[in-house]
Amino acid sequence: PGMLRPSRRADGLPAALLVLCALLGAGARAEGQQCTLDPSCALHCADGLPEQLAAGLNLSGFNKHFNANGYYAALDTEKGDAYYLLPCSAITSVTCADAMEGTPAALTSFADGGTSPPHMQGNCASCGMWSKQSCRIEINGMAFSIHCSYPGGSPGQRSLTVHYHCAEEYALPTAMQVDVAGVRTEYDITFRGPAVCPIGGGGGPGGGEEEGWGGLSWFSSLLLVLLGLAAVYIGVGYAYNKNVHGLSGTEALPHREFWLELPSVLSEACARTGREVRDVLRSWRRPAGVTEPLAPSDQPA
């Protein structure tokens, strides 16, 4: 499911392309494994985590971004209903008089006459029960997402699905409601943040966010380090050539001759590689038993 079917036979494709297609197809999507999310925000799966998440996965980074009251408040901008929840546990700091049974995964206060937390007296509901949680992982290449379902909301037939998606920065959760044939109500709440990203997020057995300096991603931090090293290399080399060899201006730049020759060296290497690739492609297209005609200088006398 979810994979495109080829519209033509692949018998004539090069072997390397077939291997690439197989690898992409194998890692394109893996989903359906039953998992649970515990109150510490660690994910546990019955058959173990997928290979891409072998180091573990922890969503506790979302716990650092509550509002002042210690929970998330999401707003359905279409219907105007408000939702109250925690990212990894049942909501207990907010109650609803219309849904007193069990521990809800989230509560909603209706736009029409709903009351405010922490103790909502009416026009509210439980979106789903935490005890009935069922989570699954969806992997698409190097990106993945988590989807947790919570049926059993009350009053009436209500169910909740909470989605966790990778994003560079944390954002307030978004919410929407779907009424199914006027009988069942389904809620979707979506979290986005680096805690769900394979690299630079909250993954890992220890949990929490893994960020670079000052909240930057590790890639941005590495780039800053490389730029700093380059500045030190140029500064120290320039000072050395100026004070020891008496050079000035561009003549004092460290290893000046090497850097001046580098473009031509790279150009020559690229040209040579291009010629070799063309020779290989030409040999693939040549029918069996047919040889390349000799150049005039190679013709026998």
Q: What is the pLDDT of residues 173-229, one digit of tens each?
A: 888 888 776 678 899 999 998 888 765 444 443 334 444 444 456 777 788 899 999
Residue 292 lies inside a defined structural domain of this protein: no
Residue 299 lies inside a defined structural domain of this protein: no
Q: Is 252 helix (H, G, I), strand (E, B) or coil?
A: helix
87 and 154, same domain (yes or no): yes
* CB-CB contact of 32 with 147 (8 Å): no
Count of domains forming the chain: 2
CATH number (domain holding residue 33): 2.70.130.10
Six token digits for residue 126:
């439980």
Amino acid at 58: N
Residue 60 has pLDDT above 50, yes or no: yes
Residue 25: what pLDDT? 43
44 and 187, same domain (yes or no): yes
189 and 223, same domain (yes or no): no
What span, in angstroms and rounded, lies between the C-alpha atoms of 169 and 13?
A: 41
Which range is most confident: 59-73, 131-145, 223-237, 284-298?
223-237
88 and 227, same domain (yes or no): no
Q: Supply the DSSP symbol for 3.
A: P
Residue 108 lies inside a defined structural domain of this protein: yes
Percentage of the residues of the chain whose pLDDT score is greater than 90: 22
Selected residue with higher pLDDT from 164 and 142: 164
- Domain assignment of residue 91, given as a range: 25-193
222 and 79, same domain (yes or no): no
Residue 131 lies inside a defined structural domain of this protein: yes
Closest to 198 (Cα-Cα) out of 145, 136, 147: 145
185 and 234, same domain (yes or no): no
